[in-house]
Amino acid sequence: MSPRGSLHARARASRILVVDPHPIVRIAMQHMIAQELGLDLCEALSDVPADLESLVALEPDLITLDTNLRGGSSIELIRSLRELLPDTRILVIATHDEQIYGLRVIEAGAHGYVSKSESAATIIRAIRQVLRGKIAISESIAESLRTPSPARRERVELQELSPRELEVFRLIGRGLKTKSIATTLAIRVKTVETHQAKIKRKLGLSGMHELRRVAAVWAAEH
């Protein structure tokens, strides 16, 4: 058995579901993933099926999404996928560096946002980064997410968070929603909500959207 075969025999490869309306992109993604140890393309679709629940059977560890799906917006789709597949990571691969849209998909629950203009190596690196539980954002997108006031406050005041609050902040940055954080930390949802309220107060953040953005930027940098 080859070293590659032995590796796959010992550990299950991460299953990647590619969703992109452009055949050439699907072919390119299939080729890229086929060259990588530990990654396996489970399906390549031109769009998400009307019955989203049919995706459960594919057991994807990560879904890559184009930004031009279901009428041109993937925001609601991302939210629906996070509800249906809470343990599945989502990486949006955009046609352009759409900075405002990048912020919105992260707030919706995506775990990464990169441009199709990036190199194959950068896209694969983003896939692996997201699979490791991190946030992957193109530098040009990340720069737009660093609005001066919350970013500056986050760097100065993060030390004011308690160990548990910092843990909750880290999980928010990884894209976990309240219920998933409660499950991960084995605490009540109400307790997570209390920690979130304290974090927002200590960092001077106005709401959950701003908290998710600041946490995502922090997670992308650490």
Domains of the chain (ranges plus CATH)?
Answer: 3-144 (3.40.50.2300), 147-221 (1.10.10.10)
pTM here is: 0.65
- The pLDDT of residue 56: 92
Q: How is residue 207 written in tokens?
A: 């709401």
> Is residue 101 within 8 Å of 94, Cβ to Cβ?
yes
CB-CB neighbours of 83 under 10 Å: 12
Tens digits of residue pLDDT in 37-82: 999 999 999 988 888 899 999 999 999 998 777 654 567 788 889 8
Whether the per-residue pLDDT at 149 is higher than 90: the answer is no
Average pLDDT over residues 140-163: 60
